[in-house]
Amino acid sequence: MDLLVIHGISLPPGEFGGPWIVDLFTNCLDPARHPYFADIHRLQVSAHFLIRRDGHLIQFVPTSKRAWHAGISQFDGRERCNDFSIGIELEGVDDQAYAEPQYRQLARLTHAIQRAYPVIADDRIVGHSDVAPGRKTDPGVAFDWGQYRQLMREQGA
C-alpha cells in the first residue's frame, strides 16, 4: 500500500450516529430501515477504517488487504486505487465541520499507518475527490486540511 485516501460518509445522508455505516460496510444494511437504503443496500463497499464523530475508531479490513472504498479512481497515473491504497472514512458530510476528536484520531492513525508503510509520505495522503474528481467530492470543503496537517506536525515532533 502506498496511498492514503480520506473519505467522508454519513447514513442516511446528513445524519450521524446509528449503526448504518457499519451495516453498509459489513453488507448488513436493511433496505427497509430508511428509503435511501433501498438504493444502496446491495453495494459491496468497505473501508479499512471508520472514525466516528467522537473519535471512536473502527477497523473493517486489514491494511494489507484491499478494501472497496475508492471506486473508479486514479492517482499519479495509476488506476484502481483500491489496489494500492488504504481508505479512512470520517463520519461527516462535505459542508459541515468535522469534529475535533476525529482530527486527533485521524492524525494518530495516519502516524501509525506511515510507520507501517513509510512510502505513504504526506504527499500521498489525499481526499476521495482527488482520486475520483468529478465523481466524488468528499471529504469536502469542510475538511480542514490545515488543521489535520498541523496535528500531524505536532504529533510527529
Q: Which residues are catalytic?
A: 89
Place of cell 466516528: 52
Q: Measured in whole angstroms, how far is the alpha carbon of residue 38 from the centre of its chain?
A: 23
Q: Mind giving me the DSSP string for 2-48?
A: -EEEEEEE-SSTT---SSHHHHHHTT---TTS-TTHHHHTT-----S
Measured CA angle at 72 (ends 79, 94), to 5 deg = 120
By the 8 A CB rule, do 47 and 7 touch? yes
- Can you read off the three cell numbers belonging to residue 80? 484502481
